[in-house]
């Protein structure tokens, strides 16, 4: 690269193809609030291949707690040891401690000490009764039990009340019950932390700590396909809400969708399906062996394994959700194939190397003209990929990519013209690459696999920000330069904030797909979606909720005129609105579309929203390209490209 | 406290059968997907939306709101007449409480004022309609509210009032009695003591749900009286009632929900005690409704009387799915229209009917939102997988 002594650097040129395929679509390791350690930033960070082989962060998290505890212990008096114990509650050796709420320092409201045995979950009135309890046979038995307790069980467990329920229904009814209420109140009085899942009866099975489901069962659930869906009858009550499901094959009834799904995957259902419907159907009988193996291995595993399992569990939890399933499927379909990515990468590389040689030629030109100049000084400083390409947000229909050439000074029209003619020279002999000028950008078109692609090259300079001159005739227009700079900032912000979030890319792609197929959303820029997703993922735990929140933001009139708008986070010096360039009609349309989407999603018909597409012309470009008329095709694609180009331009200004 | 064994033996681990009788399966649960959360609210995320600071008071909107409030508040003479009418009826009912022996058909336990008149949030009925200004009274009976008893109570009131009020007409309705005097009306909502609720039979007595509603009206009135005192709050209640009166898509928003919503919008100000001005609170109310406050998957508002969130209230969901959708899409449409043409939404200026079809509002092509859940549709239908895949836009390359 610098053989010629040219100060020429390449930014953002990681091989794209390797990255994008390795992105977690809906990652195996679904992290939630409880498991999200402060250092997990690296965990979901798939940008750099070298990081992928890092040890699981679970270990480091444990390590972190451990070391934090040690440091604390070194600085605190022994009496505060109990607090540390509480912090390490998952380590079973120290299972009980004396919790005294009314230390003179802590809480003046309560007048009595409360002694609480963690193991037996009993509150004792006084010290003597507490000690009596500790020495009692019941307590000892409990303690031994709890130490031998298997970590795996096919149950739902209420941590607070220490109740094991074998079904989610029983668990729910427990959470509603008065006993549970009392326990919660007592714990509140004691000032103990109540597990998240227990606080809200509506969220019975989401947090890892309370609910543990057999890992092997979950895995099986994923492998086995549900069969005989058509024999399920759905019963409704007067208000047209689902009352129950009825399986005609097995003659049984279910009250919720999960039970129905489990049944569909179950052996009994499969057997009766084989008996009554399709005698050729193979019932998988090897399940038992598998699960036994798993059981044996899992009981031997350590804390780490429990973590894995919980993560796994959470992952499965989200998967049971219809909307998540749908989003995953959608994402599968819109993510570009390896072949396409390879082709894009090759094309971009070609253009980049061409630009490089242009830079060399320009450099030699200047050195010939005035030899006193330092040879290292060249007008072109570097080249950067911007936009979707480097953010890994491409979907299959994307055909327009952006490059920015960074110049030392404010680029002149002269320079632009030189660059353009040099590029034209390079590709003079190659028939499949054409070069056009479009306002202040150079557009390079090519045909790969009967597929037209376009790279738009724009010029900018870092010095332009401090330059307050208005447009001067000989320079390129300031707005286009600023747009290009803005795009570079956006990429930097994206890499710092969004790539570290696990499901961000997948969600953004899904939303971008909607902008491609819905006319109302065409003016919604990718940058705006990125900012919104970033906001929501910081707040919510699951990708589906994040998706819904984005729709809520927009449906709630975020971008309607006269409403609070969105700040561009990478512009720190001034508060700038991400939707500045939209007119009232576009604002209204975007909001309208989001409102429809929100309601579809709330009523469980997210798929219908994505199926509504009112841009037939766009759909043509989605389909396999086998046009007889080449001209037509290139025209339409060009139109499409320039159209989206315009949008892009709009959004950046 | 201690619980080491499951409550039920293994063969009864599922919900025991007897629970079905008093706790019907939670039908809404299908859509809650086990996860419901608070709906998005601009006030909860001020750091992301810094421009909110400048928007607290919107002078243009405030002017329009004030104009509209003038129009919908009843004239002083009218409300004075209504007060007189109501207090006369109250007196007569109080006599029945004090001397139960004088009336044998039923025994009155207590009489209470409730509703918009009591809270000073009453608005004028729509111009040209025959609906009179009304105030509401709840009468709690010690005895069971049989149809005959209600009729006799009506007759007794008629006798007592004969000499004092002319043009009196009394009819019994499904909630109790309605007394009308030309352009005034007093609704007497009848209910009975909670201990009697179990023995109510809808063929003989008032409907049980109505009895409960009427009884809860007392509690609601107490809460509103105590908590919703800020003038901005009362203003917002009036505006929302007016909106509901003019756009019938907002019908599912009953007066209690309006009070809850108004209170939430005015006071829940991101942990600060400052009350929001009506212009912002009004916008916020529509924003919340548009963001799906009452859609499945959201918690809804906290209901201090039931001590739960409105969308999670177990025994009977507050709205059917169709109503949820209707409320949501109507407010979504109104929210968009408000941004373009506030005078039209607030009713100070006439405009094209935005719900009739595509129209132009202040230069913007405006299309109202369409319902996606219909009354006759089996709306709980699960997504059909094969269809889902087939309908999907092909993106092969």
Nearest to A259 by CA among A242, A284, A239: A242
Q: Are residues B77 and B208 in the same domain?
A: yes
Write the CA distances from A159 to A6, A207, A412, B93, integer angstroms: 66, 11, 69, 55
Higher pLDDT, B292 or A257: B292
Q: Is B37 in CB contact (< 8 Å) with chain A?
A: yes
Q: Which of B184, B201, B228 is the last residue of a domain?
A: B228
Segment A191-209 mean pLDDT: 46
Of A235-244, A418-427, A599-608, B68-77, the least confident:
A235-244
What letter would DSSP give residue B8?
A: S
Segment A26-34 mean pLDDT: 35
Segment A204-217 mean pLDDT: 40
Out of A161, A166, A598, closest to residue B3 by CB = A161
Out of A565, A602, A605, closest to residue B297 by CB = A602
- B369 CB neighbours in chain A (<8 A) are 592, 595-596, 599
Nearest to B234 by CA among B135, B120, B348: B120
State the residue range of the domain holding B259: 37-69+229-396
- For residue B342, how far is the Cα from the chain centroid? 24
Q: Are residues B273 and B149 in the same domain?
A: no
Write the CA distances from B223 to B93, B216, B219, B227, integer angstroms: 24, 11, 6, 6
Q: Are residues B222 and B274 in the same domain?
A: no
Q: Which of B187, B212, B228 is the last residue of a domain?
A: B228
Q: Are residues B88 and B218 in the same domain?
A: yes
Residue B17 lies in a domain: no
Task: Please report the residues numbered 282 through 301 in chain B whose beta carbons come closer than 8 angstroms to any beta carbon of chain A.
Answer: 283, 286-288, 290-292, 295-299
Q: Are residues B380 and B256 in the same domain?
A: yes
Q: Is B29 in CB contact (< 8 Å) with chain A?
A: yes
Higher pLDDT, A165 or A41: A165
Segment A100-115 mean pLDDT: 44
Q: pLDDT tens, B144-173?
A: 888 888 888 888 888 888 877 776 788 888
Residue B105 has pLDDT above 50, yes or no: yes
- How close, in Å, is residue B369 to chain A by CA atoms? 7
Q: Do the chains contact at B19 and A173, CB–CB below 8 Å?
A: yes
Give the pLDDT band of residue B316 (cuts 50, 70, 90).
low
Query: Best mutation site among A559, A595, A618, A621 for testing chain B: the one with the most B CBs within 10 Å?
Result: A595
Q: Are residues B246 and B381 in the same domain?
A: yes
CB pairs under 8 A between A and B: 270
Q: Which of B195, B228, B261 is the last residue of a domain?
A: B228
Long-range contacts of A547-551 (CB under 8 A, 24+ apart): A547/A323, A547/A327, A547/A507, A547/A510, A547/A511, A547/A601, A548/A323, A548/A598, A548/A601, A548/A602, A548/B297, A549/B40, A550/A507, A550/A511, A551/A594, A551/A597, A551/A598, A551/A601
CATH number for the domain that contains residue B293: 1.10.1410.40
Q: Are residues B166 and B260 in the same domain?
A: no
ipTM of the complex: 0.79
> How high is the mean pLDDT of chain A?
64
Across A218-227, A460-469, A491-500, the highest mean pLDDT is recorded for A491-500
Q: Are residues B64 and B80 in the same domain?
A: no
Task: Please report the residues numbered 317 through 336 in chain B whose beta carbons come closer than 8 angstroms to any beta carbon of chain A.
Answer: 317, 320-322, 324-325, 328-329, 332, 335-336
Q: What is the DSSP string of B85-119?
A: HHHHHHHHHHHHHH-GGG--S--EEEEEEEHHHHT
Q: pLDDT tens, A330-376?
A: 888 888 888 888 888 888 888 888 888 888 887 776 655 544 444 44
Nearest to B337 by CA among B317, B304, B311, B364: B364
Q: Do the chains contact at B295 and A555, CB–CB below 8 Å?
A: no
Out of B1, B13, B30, closest to residue A242 by CB = B30
Which residues are registered as beta bridge partners of A404?
Answer: A384, A458
CB atoms within 10 A of CB A592: 21
- B27 CB neighbours in chain A (<8 A) are 237, 239, 241-243
Q: Are residues B305 and B383 in the same domain?
A: yes
Q: Do the chains contact at B30 and A241, CB–CB below 8 Å?
A: yes
Residue A256 has pLDDT above 70, yes or no: yes
Three-class SS state of B37: strand
Out of A165, A240, A599, closest to residue B328 by CB = A599
- How close, in Å, is residue B121 to chain A by CA atoms? 27
Tokens of A193: 């932390």
Which residue of chain B is at minimal alpha-carbon distance from A568?
A: B48
- A242 CB neighbours in chain B (<8 A) are 27, 30, 380, 382
User: What is the reported pLDDT for B240?
Assistant: 92
Of A168-182, A196-210, A456-470, B179-193, the least confident:
A196-210
Residue B89 lies in a domain: yes
Q: Are residues B354 and B234 in the same domain?
A: yes
Q: Are residues B103 and B197 in the same domain?
A: yes
- Kindly give the residue spans of alpha helices, DSSP state H, lying in A76-167: 81-87, 127-135, 137-148
Q: pLDDT tens, B50-71?
A: 554 555 667 888 899 999 999 8
Q: Do the chains contact at A607 and B388, CB–CB below 8 Å?
A: yes
**Fold observed for domain A333-364+378-464+472-500:** Beta Polymerase; domain 2 (3.30.460)
Task: Please report the residues numbered 41 through 80 in chain B whose beta carbons come closer than 8 angstroms to any beta carbon of chain A.
Answer: 41-42, 45, 48-52, 55, 58
CB atoms within 10 A of CB A406: 19
Domain count, chain B: 2
Q: B142 with B107: CB under 8 angstroms?
A: yes
What letter would DSSP give residue B135?
A: E
Tokens of A553: 């933001």
Burial class (CB in 10 A: 0-12, 13-18, 19+), A269: buried
CATH class of A501-615: mainly alpha
Out of B29, B340, B367, closest to residue A256 by CB = B29
Q: Are residues B250 and B373 in the same domain?
A: yes
Residue B28 lies in a domain: no
User: What is the reported pLDDT for B269?
Assistant: 67
Of A583-597, B271-285, B330-344, the least confident:
B271-285
Which residue of chain B is at minimal alpha-carbon distance from A202?
A: B34
Q: A359 with A403: CB under 8 angstroms?
A: no
Give the pLDDT band of residue A317 (cuts 50, 70, 90).
very low
Q: Do the chains contact at A588 and B366, CB–CB below 8 Å?
A: yes
Whether this model's pTM surpasses 0.90:
no
Percent of chain A with pLDDT over 70: 52
Q: Do the chains contact at B382 and A234, CB–CB below 8 Å?
A: yes
Out of B6, B40, B292, closest to residue A163 by CB = B6
Residue B6 lies in a domain: no
User: What is the reported pLDDT for A219?
Assistant: 43
């Amino acid at each position: 690269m610098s053989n010629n002594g040219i100060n020429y650097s390449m930014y953002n040129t990681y091989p794209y193809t390797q990255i994008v395929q390795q992105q977690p679509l809906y990652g195996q390791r679904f992290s939630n609030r409880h498991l999200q350690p402060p250092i997990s930033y690296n965990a979901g960070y798939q940008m750099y291949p070298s990081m992928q082989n890092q040890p699981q962060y679970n270990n480091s998290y444990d390590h972190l707690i451990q070391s934090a505890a040690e440091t604390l212990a070194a600085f605190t008096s022994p009496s505060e040891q109990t607090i540390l114990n509480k912090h390490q509650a998952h380590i079973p050796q120290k299972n009980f401690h004396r919790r005294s709420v009314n230390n003179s320092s802590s809480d003046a409201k309560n007048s009595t000490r409360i002694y609480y045995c963690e193991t037996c979950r009993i509150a004792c009135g006084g010290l003597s009764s507490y000690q009596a309890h500790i020495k009692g046979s019941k307590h000892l038995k409990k303690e031994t039990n709890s130490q031998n307790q298997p970590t795996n069980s096919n149950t739902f467990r209420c941590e607070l009340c220490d109740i094991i329920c074998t079904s989610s229904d029983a668990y729910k009814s427990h959470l509603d019950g008065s006993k549970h209420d009392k326990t919660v109140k007592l714990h509140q009085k004691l000032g103990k932390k109540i597990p998240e899942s227990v606080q809200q009866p509506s969220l019975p099975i989401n947090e890892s700590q309370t609910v543990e489901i057999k890992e092997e069962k979950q895995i099986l659930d994923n492998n086995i396909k549900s069969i005989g869906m058509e024999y399920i009858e759905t019963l409704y009550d007067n208000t047209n809400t689902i009352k129950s499901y009825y399986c005609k094959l097995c003659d049984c009834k279910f009250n919720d969708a999960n039970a129905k799904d489990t049944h569909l995957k179950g052996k009994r259902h499969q057997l009766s399906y084989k008996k009554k419907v399709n005698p050729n159907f193979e019932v998988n009988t090897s399940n038992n062996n598998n699960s036994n193996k798993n059981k044996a291995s899992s009981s031997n595993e350590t804390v780490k394994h429990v973590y894995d399992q919980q993560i796994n569990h959470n992952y499965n939890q989200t998967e049971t959700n219809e909307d998540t399933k749908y989003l995953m499927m959608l994402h599968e379909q819109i993510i570009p194939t390896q072949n396409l990515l390879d082709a894009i990468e090759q094309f971009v590389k070609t253009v980049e190397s061409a630009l490089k040689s242009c830079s060399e030629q320009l450099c030699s030109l200047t050195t010939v003209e005035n030899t006193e100049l330092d040879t290292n000084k060249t007008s072109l400083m570097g080249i950067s990929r911007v936009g979707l390409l480097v953010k890994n947000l491409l979907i299959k229909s994307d055909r327009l990519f952006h490059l920015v050439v960074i110049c030392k000074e404010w680029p002149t029209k002269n320079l632009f013209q030189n660059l353009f003619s040099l590029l034209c020279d390079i590709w003079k002999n190659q028939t499949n690459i054409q070069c056009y000028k479009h306002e202040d950008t150079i557009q390079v078109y090519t045909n790969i696999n009967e597929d037209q692609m376009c790279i738009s090259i724009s010029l900018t300079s870092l010095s332009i920000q401090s330059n307050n001159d208005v447009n001067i005739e000989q320079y390129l227009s300031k707005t286009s330069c600023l747009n290009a700079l803005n795009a570079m900032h956006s990429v930097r912000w994206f890499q710092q904030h969004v790539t570290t979030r696990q499901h961000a890319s997948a969600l953004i792609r899904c939303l971008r797909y909607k902008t491609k197929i819905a006319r109302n959303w065409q003016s919604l820029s990718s940058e705006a979606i990125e900012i919104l997703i970033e906001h929501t993922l910081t707040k919510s735990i699951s990708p589906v909720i994040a998706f819904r929140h984005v729709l809520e933001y927009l449906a709630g009139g975020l971008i309607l005129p006269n409403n609070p708008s969105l700040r561009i986070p990478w512009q720190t010096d001034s508060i700038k609105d991400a939707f500045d360039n939209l007119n009232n009609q576009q604002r209204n349309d975007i909001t309208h579309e989001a409102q429809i989407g929100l309601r579809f999603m709330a009523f469980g018909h997210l798929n219908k929203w994505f199926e509504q597409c009112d841009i037939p012309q766009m759909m043509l470009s989605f389909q396999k390209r086998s046009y007889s008329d080449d001209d037509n095709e290139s025209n339409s694609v060009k139109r499409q490209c320039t159209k989206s180009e315009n949008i892009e331009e709009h959004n950046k200004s | 406290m201690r619980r080491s064994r499951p409550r039920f033996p293994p063969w009864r681990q599922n919900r025991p059968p007897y629970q079905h009788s008093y706790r019907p399966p939670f039908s809404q649960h299908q859509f809650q997907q086990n996860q419901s959360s608070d709906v998005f609210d601009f006030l909860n995320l001020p750091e992301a939306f810094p421009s909110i600071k400048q928007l607290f008071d919107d002078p243009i909107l405030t002017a329009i709101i004030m104009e509209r409030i003038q129009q919908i508040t009843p004239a002083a003479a009218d409300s004075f007449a209504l007060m007189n009418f109501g207090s006369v009826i109250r007196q007569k009912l109080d006599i029945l409480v004090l001397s139960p022996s004088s009336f044998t058909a039923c025994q009155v336990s207590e009489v209470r004022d409730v509703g918009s008149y009591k809270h000073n949030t009453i608005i004028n009925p729509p111009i040209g309609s025959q609906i009179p200004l009304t105030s509401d009274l709840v009468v709690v009976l010690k005895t069971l509210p049989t149809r005959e008893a209600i009729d006799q109570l009506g007759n007794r009131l008629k006798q007592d009032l004969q000499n004092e009020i002319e043009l009196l007409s009394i009819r019994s309705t499904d909630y109790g009695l309605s007394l009308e005097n030309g352009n005034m009306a007093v609704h007497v909502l009848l209910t009975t003591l909670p201990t009697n609720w179990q023995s109510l039979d809808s063929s003989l007595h008032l409907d049980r749900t109505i009895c409960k509603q009427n009884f809860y009206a007392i509690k609601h009135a107490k809460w509103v009286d105590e908590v919703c005192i800020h003038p901005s709050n009362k203003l917002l209640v009036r505006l929302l009632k007016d909106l509901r009166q003019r756009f019938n898509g907002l019908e599912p928003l009953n007066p209690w929900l309006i009070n809850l919503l108004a209170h939430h919008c005015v006071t829940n100000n991101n942990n600060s005690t400052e009350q929001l001005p009506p212009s912002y609170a009004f916008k916020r109310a529509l924003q919340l409704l548009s963001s799906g406050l009452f859609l499945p998957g959201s918690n809804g508002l906290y209901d201090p009387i039931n001590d739960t969130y409105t969308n999670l209230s177990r025994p009977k969901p507050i709205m059917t799915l169709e109503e949820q959708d209707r409320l949501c899409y109507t407010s979504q449409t109104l929210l968009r229209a408000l941004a373009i043409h506030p005078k039209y939404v607030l009713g100070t200026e006439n405009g094209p009917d935005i719900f009739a079809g595509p129209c132009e509002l202040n230069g913007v092509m405006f299309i109202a939102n369409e319902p996606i859940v219909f009354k006759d549709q089996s709306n709980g239908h699960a997504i059909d997988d094969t269809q889902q895949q087939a309908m999907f836009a092909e993106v092969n390359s």
